[in-house]
Amino acid sequence: MYDYDLLVVGSANADLVIGVERRPGAGETVLGSDLAVHPGGKGANQAVAAARLGARTALLARVGDDPHGRLLLDSQRAAGVDTAGVLVGGAPTGVALITVDPSGDNSIVVSPGANGRLTPEDVRAATGLLHRSNVVSTQLEIPLETVVEVVRSLSPASRFVLNPSPPRPLPPEVLAACDPLIVNEHEARVILGDARAGDRPEDWAGLLLTKGPRSVVVTLGAEGALVASAAEGVSRVPSVRVDAVDTTGAGDAFTAALAWKLGAGSALREAAAYAARVGAAAVTKEGAQASYPTAREVAAL
């Protein structure tokens, strides 16, 4: 019996958000809304999203000893996430600069800060936490060598989920552990290489499976997702139609819900269908963590 349904090893950022009528071109200045500061970061987002759905969740991350770090810790604890694995100090808390246009689409630039100081040694020191977790999820807003150490430190019975964002080529050791590898179109093309990626999500999923992952999920935004594995084949999962307000963090909500449901025994397609509903609910509110639904809200949607 595991102590945690999901352990998230990843980033924790303060999201600095400005609404804009349109994003500026090179050398151009545009005016935007008042600045809003929200707790974010892919790792912290996934932990909060899972906890709000009812998962027993822990976070392994690093934040600065500063107001942004305290904001992030407060948000995790309020959602019910175990923060015993969150390390404090070493660098200022990471920051994401986010612009959101009237359609809800966003552009993001991340300053990693303390996230870049989450080291393989930190992971090895937390081996007990990893072995007490049913599913371990991570991303690439922390150093790749730290992600490699997560794979090496897993309990043999734990499931590993990776969203390779921001994308970069991955070593075979990491790809072989993914169950699933969760990518959008841009991430799929980076990992595959544009020259051989093809034009269809089915093509990307098939090619990604040949690289070693046990399963692959391709997120398709408002069109839902595509799932692929040797056991279940390839199929599309529709999304729920909603009026999008802000897409910030929706992919993290999808990943968290998928990882939790897979750990609870759901089949890949079933877990992805649930995750698509969670992601749809998240885009109907502003912000990342503040937008994440409870299980009751997902059921109502």
- pLDDT over 70, % of the chain: 99
Give whole-number Cα distances, 200 to 40, 142, 178, 185, 220, in Å.
31, 30, 22, 9, 11
Q: Which of 230, 61, 245 is nearest to 150 (CA)?
A: 61
What is the pLDDT at residue 170?
95
Instruction: Supply the angle between the helices 268-282 and 42-53 in degrees, to the nearest 10.
Output: 100
Strands 4-9 and 133-139: parallel
Give the lowest-confidence range in 5-9, 128-132, 201-205, 238-242. Answer: 238-242
- Band (103; pLDDT cuts 50, 70, 90): confident
What is the pLDDT at residue 293?
87
What is the pLDDT at residue 197?
64
What is the pLDDT at residue 196?
62
Residue 260 has pLDDT above 70, yes or no: yes
What is the pLDDT at residue 222?
79
Structure confidence by residue, pLDDT tens digits, 126-136: 999 999 999 99
Residue 251 has pLDDT above 70, yes or no: yes
Where on the phi/psi map is residue 233: left (φ > 0), alpha (ψ -120 to 50), or beta? left
To the nearest whole number, what is the mean pLDDT of the chain? 92
Contact 79, 56 (CB under 8 A): no
* CA of residue 126 relative to chain centroid, distance: 20
Structure confidence by residue, pLDDT tens digits, 206-231: 999 999 999 999 998 878 899 999 88
- What 3 state SS string does the chain have? CCCEEEEEECCCEEEEEEEECCCCCCCCCCCECCCEEEEECHHHHHHHHHHHHCCCEEEEEEECCCHHHHHHHHHHHHHCCECCCEEECCCCCEEEEEEECCCCCEEEEEECHHHHHCCHHHHHHCHHHHHCEEEEEEECCCCHHHHHHHHHHCCCCCEEEEECCCCCCCCHHHHHHEEEEEECHHHHHHHHCHHHCCCCHHHHHHHHHHCCCCEEEEECHHHCEEEEECCCEEEEECCCCCCCCCCCCHHHHHHHHHHHHHHCCCCHHHHHHHHHHHHHHHCCCCCCHHHCCCHHHHHHC
What is the pLDDT at residue 194?
62
- pLDDT over 90, % of the chain: 71
Residue 248 has pLDDT above 80, yes or no: no
In whole angstroms, give the CA distance from residue 179 to residue 202: 17
What is the pLDDT at residue 91?
96
Q: Higher model confidence: residue 259 or residue 242? A: 259
Cis (ω within 30 of 0) for the bond into 180? yes
**Type of residue numbered 208:** L
What is the pLDDT at residue 11?
97
Structural domains in the chain plus CATH codes: 4-10+42-91+115-300 (3.40.1190.20)
Active site residues: 252
Structure confidence by residue, pLDDT tens digits, 174-206: 999 999 999 998 899 899 886 566 778 888 899
